[in-house]
Amino acid sequence: MSGIAPGMSVPVPKEFSVLTDRQRAIVQSTVPLLETGGEALITHFYQTMLGEYPEVRALFNMAHQQSGAQPRALAYSVLMYARHIDRLDALGDLPAQIINKHVALQVQPEHYPIVGTCLLRAIREVLGAEIATDEVIAAWGTAYQQLADILIGAERQAYDRTAAAEGGWRGERAFVVEDKVQESAEITSFYLVPADGGPVIAHQPGQYIGLRLVVDGQEQRRNYSLSAPADGRSLRISVKREAGGKVSNFLHDRVRVGDTLQLFPPAGHFTLQPGERPLVLISGGVGITPTLPMLDAALPTRRPVVFIHCARERGVHAFREHVDALAAVHPQLTRYYCYDRAEEGDGVDAQGLLTARQLGEWLPAVDADVYFLGPRPFMRSVKESLKALGVPQEQVRYEFFGPAEALQ
């Protein structure tokens, strides 16, 4: 299976760049500067790299650049790395998260020198020569190479595992759109089968694939959650039409049944873990997509499952009929729906925003395994509510590629 699972140690190559004690101290001394000006530095870094190295543009979502989400995410990762440079195991799931994103987008070893060159230039140009001395730049150069060596080694292992697995592949693989189904006013599913007629690797519930396509002459790469369980022959992604979204609108408006798309293998560490405690799946909007295969995988285990979904209104609530059908035949499944705006006959359990009080009434127990995903404000609220309700933090899992502080 591709990617690095949560809790797994990130493999360190036998031969990689080693920081001296002085270099380590220099890197850590820059943490206060990164805390106050890291986002400006990373923004300058992105402008330099994307302007001078067009070959890496496809690896970055330009919408996330414009919103500042990607610079903030990288600034956070750099800060955490610098802060824990002498104890990398304290980074927790962050390396696994980064590695899985890189694997899904097919980041390659030749991309790392480009990033390193631009990062060191940004440090020098933003902090100035008086602060970013030759010694500081040399220390950061070694620190970056150490990180690059670790990530390259882990990603190579992930690529090798996927290529060796039954139904696996390396790089891109052609898939044909077998069916296209509108699930709601905003979400459309694409059923994809290999053009070569071969088997498909068994992905884990909660993983996503990478998609490479050319839109208006420009290469684009995106990650989309797999919204159906593994069946060995096909994959399904369910894509929300985003206002101004170049790729989502292309998929909705221009991709037809019979068209061919290029896919990278499944990856991702937000996956359903085995357990006997009650399982709670909480989603908002299109965040429902990875919870669907989690739900399908959990039901045969007989563990109690609570499925909570929040949507703006009935018209944008995808997969309701599927979940209702499962609840009708699985007595251990309880489902709740919450709409911002509800009309008579919508059959919702709550209206308005999902509050801690409401969530507390729906939780089967505080001692539960909880997975949640959705828009950032929704996730922030759910995270705070679960903490206030006393759900153990080690039993709470979510997928969020960005600064952890954004969910505080």
User: For the chain, what are the domain ranges?
Assistant: 21-164, 173-267, 279-398
Domain 173-267: which topology?
Elongation Factor Tu (Ef-tu); domain 3 (2.40.30)
Same fold for the pair 21-164 and 173-267: no
Q: Please state the φ and ψ torsions of residue 188, each to the nearest 5 degrees.
A: -125, 135
Domain 21-164: which topology?
Globin-like (1.10.490)
* Active-site residue list: 112, 155
pLDDT digits over 54-104, tens only? 988 888 776 655 555 667 777 778 888 888 888 877 777 778 888 888 998
Domain 279-398: which topology?
Rossmann fold (3.40.50)
pTM over 0.75: yes
Residue-by-residue pLDDT tens, the chain, 408 positions: 455 454 444 444 444 567 899 999 999 998 888 778 777 888 888 889 989 999 888 887 766 555 556 677 777 788 888 888 888 777 777 788 888 889 988 999 999 999 999 999 999 998 888 889 999 999 999 999 999 999 999 999 999 999 999 999 999 999 999 999 999 999 999 999 999 999 999 999 999 999 999 999 999 999 999 999 999 999 999 999 999 899 999 999 999 999 999 999 999 989 999 999 999 999 999 999 999 999 999 999 989 999 999 999 999 999 999 999 999 999 999 999 999 999 999 999 999 999 999 999 999 999 999 999 999 899 999 999 999 999 999 999 998 754 444 555
Which residues make Cβ contacts (< 8 Å) with residue 257, sequence separation at least 6?
Answer: 177, 178, 179, 180
Q: What share of the chain is helix, strand, coil (3-state, %, to 5)?
A: 45, 20, 35
